[in-house]
Amino acid sequence: MKRSFKILRAYASILYIIYIIFYSAIVSLFAIPLLFIINPKIIPFLLLLVDVIILITIVNYFCIWYLINYIYLKKQPKFEEYKIKGDYVGIVVTTNNLQFWKYFAIYTGGLILLIEYFKNKNIPYKLLTNFSSPFDTKKFKELIFDINCKELYISGHGRKHRLQISKKENLYYFLFSSAPKKDKIVQLHCNHGGGKSLADFLNAKEDFLTDSMRTSTQNLKYFLNITKH
């Protein structure tokens, strides 16, 4: 693999560890009442340590990593610019019409690891990075109904049976049940709420399966795992 990808992946690995430490530090705050009984002198040190961990996490995970992903995805070619003959992988990122705070889960999930991995392995792919309006699903439909699109990775927000594309608009997966069958589909958004997934409708292998909510940290761990080799 290229050195640049190894550096990117190494940084993502460190970020994952930082976030785990951050989560553990937050949980440790619940032990403060117990520390008043055991040794109150430890409390100032604990609070300082937690503050430092929170600061490191905010700067690296929610600022630097967020911006790296944001800038990277914004600079990718438009969907119609991909000229591929033969089979390819489809990648969908809904980023234009959601509430602003929802972007953090998308841009900190580490999708750029997958894209760079495909580039390093010379795996053809097409990236659909936005919907020009809440009701513009033409490109999304084109991707799903393309017989050459063998795998799909869908990043964003939603439920098991639907993908959210704006504050009030959703794409329901049953609408695409007549599309060509896929080899693999990965729904990187939340999958609670019941119903059938797109993989169910298209008889595809469903990697990274869950029937519950999903965090960006879980997505990051998934991408780290599948880009090991």
Amino acid identity, position 68: I
pLDDT in tens, 122-163: 999 999 987 666 656 788 999 999 999 999 999 999 999 999
C-alpha–C-alpha distance, residues 176 and 184, integer Å = 15
pLDDT in tens, 180-221: 999 999 999 999 999 999 999 999 999 888 899 999 999 999
**Mean pLDDT across the stretch 72-82?**
91
* pLDDT top residue among 196 and 43: 196
65 and 166 within one domain? no
98 and 201 within one domain? yes
Q: In what order do the strands lie in the sheet with 149-155?
A: 125-128, 88-93, 149-155, 184-187, 205-206
Task: Give the pLDDT confidence score for residue 137 in this predicted structure.
Answer: 79
Task: Give the pLDDT confidence score for residue 29 in this predicted structure.
Answer: 82
211 and 136 within one domain? yes
Give the domain range for residue 157: 79-226
Q: Are 149 and 82 in contact (CB under 8 A)?
A: no
Q: In what order do the strands lie in the sheet with 162-164?
A: 157-159, 162-164, 170-172
101 and 21 within one domain? no
| Stated pTM of the model | 0.90
**Percentages of the chain per state (helix, strand, coil), in multiples of 5:** 50, 15, 35
Q: Are 153 and 227 in contact (CB under 8 A)?
A: no
* pLDDT top residue among 180 and 166: 180
Which residue spans within 12-148 are E strands per DSSP?
Answer: 88-93, 125-128
Q: Are 113 and 223 in contact (CB under 8 A)?
A: yes
Task: Give the angle subtended at the CA of 111 by the CAs of 109 and 114, to the nearest 5°.
Answer: 135
153 and 60 within one domain? no
Task: Give the pLDDT confidence score for residue 185 in this predicted structure.
Answer: 97
Instruction: Choose the final residue of a domain: 74, 108, 131.
Output: 74
Q: What six digits make up the tokens of 217? A: 């940290």
